[in-house]
Copies of this chain bind each other. A is one copy, B any other.
Amino acid sequence: MVGQEPGHRVSVGASGADVRRTGFSDRASLEKAVGWLDARAAVLPPEAIRSEDAAGRVLATPIDAATDLPPLDRAGEDGFALRSAETIGAGSYSPILLELQPAGSPLRAGAATPVAAGTPLPCGADAVLPFGMAHLDARTVEVVGAVAEGMGVERHGQQLRAGTALFGAGRALRPQDAALLATLGVGSIQVVRRPRVRLVLAGPKGPAGTAFQGDAHRPMLLPLIARDGGLVESIVLASERASTRRAVAAPGADVVLVTGRTGTGPDDEAPLAIADVGELAIHGIALRPGASAGLGAVATVSVLLLPGDPLACLCAYELLAGRLLRRLGGRDPELPHRVREAEVGRKIVSGIGFAEMCEVRLVDGRVEPVGRAEGGGLASAIRSDGFVLVPAALEGYAPGTRVVVHLYESAMVL
């Protein structure tokens, strides 16, 4: 029943059949789908980047300090570099006069020279007297307090010794990590390559005056892909089987996300297009919304079918595609949302047998479902604060149950 076109593997549907006009006879569990993806999601190979671009990348190989930090003894604070022994006995009532010496030459006996924190200690100096402990005039420094040897000095290697382990492989590098690498003069680092994602918008054009479905998918998925460390390689419009097949089979991507035409309607040919050129491993997942999602592969490239309904597309992206991207990129595969644990205030209903992403809002600190009663779909979902995942084995959560809410937030911008 696959139709007119040849496909070198015809394993359509979780049960292996073309589901168009018949419906899914069977669906894979979310756990099975995630397991299939995880088994394929080996961390991508490393690439070299300049250390100044480190923030947000995942380190592929460990970095040890190649030099000491600081590389030499330096002033730890602003003040007068001097010989500590020459300040013994100094006080407000017994000031000691030192000669003011300009910076840049070895310190003469009986002299002090102003230094800024972070600058090298002049040769001969062994302490830095804070400016507040001296009175300065044109040629002399009147010292009104004693300092011990080493005071105000940051010793060579005090922060870090050459050879010290700095970052392990897998470190998600922070802005301040990039600053340290620059300080140590590290020019280039090895990081996990970012997964290249092709977005194939296969959904139908709506009736006259309404939007193309892909117009909703694109602005939603691009920031999510970026959030998960993916790099969009190309965006392809492919509204029928042949163009979808070509878009999926073309080289250049690590992951292909096909949105739309995943269901059981007459024109839902995206699964067939995958089977034409590769393997459709799973079609139909016991997930709501998103039950027509599918997973497959063309050679080493993972292909995900994301349903055309925007909220179902979001759900399948969050629970399947995002996880794949995070794993490929060497990141924590778990959902990246902030979470809040709270008590259910109004019953959350979920169909047994389906893992469900239930839109919820927090009302006076308690969790309430949003959605079906308010018309459902994307328009209800924008009123939610986040979602609660209900496993397939449960029918929902009764009031009083403590649940974890994954909070929606604005995507980051760059």
Q: Known contacts A130-B23, A209-B71, A265-B78: does B412 contact A179 (CB below 8 Å)?
A: no
In A62-118, the 8 Å CB interface with B consists of 65, 69, 71-72, 78-79, 103, 114-118
Q: Is A378 an interface residue (CB 8 A)?
A: yes
* Interface pair B132/A23, CB less than 8 Å apart: yes
Interface core residue of A21, A58, A72, A267 (most chain B CB under 10 Å): A21
Complex: A6 Cα to B278 Cα, angstroms: 74
A364-392 vs B, Cβ < 8 Å mask (1 yes, 0 no)? 00000000000111111110000000000
Complex: A340 Cα to B74 Cα, angstroms: 37
Complex: A185 Cα to B229 Cα, angstroms: 29
Complex: A160 Cα to B204 Cα, angstroms: 21
* Interface pair B265/A410, CB less than 8 Å apart: no
Residues of A within 8 Å of B, CB-based: how many? 100
| Residues of B close to A159: CB separation below 8 A | 375-380
* Interface pair B310/A179, CB less than 8 Å apart: yes
Whole-angstrom distance between the Cβ of A377 and the nearest chain B Cβ: 4
A188-229 vs B, Cβ < 8 Å mask (1 yes, 0 no)? 000000100000000010110111010111111111101101
A309-320 vs B, Cβ < 8 Å mask (1 yes, 0 no)? 111011000000
| Residues of B close to A58: CB separation below 8 A | 410
| Residues of B close to A378: CB separation below 8 A | 159, 176, 179-180, 183
* Interface pair B179/A314, CB less than 8 Å apart: yes
Using a CB–CB cutoff of 8 Å, the interface residues on chain A facing chain B are 21-25, 51-58, 65, 69, 71-72, 78-79, 103, 114-120, 130-132, 136, 154, 158-160, 166-167, 172-185, 194, 204, 206-207, 209-211, 213, 215-224, 226-227, 229, 263-268, 308-311, 313-314, 338, 375-382, 408-414
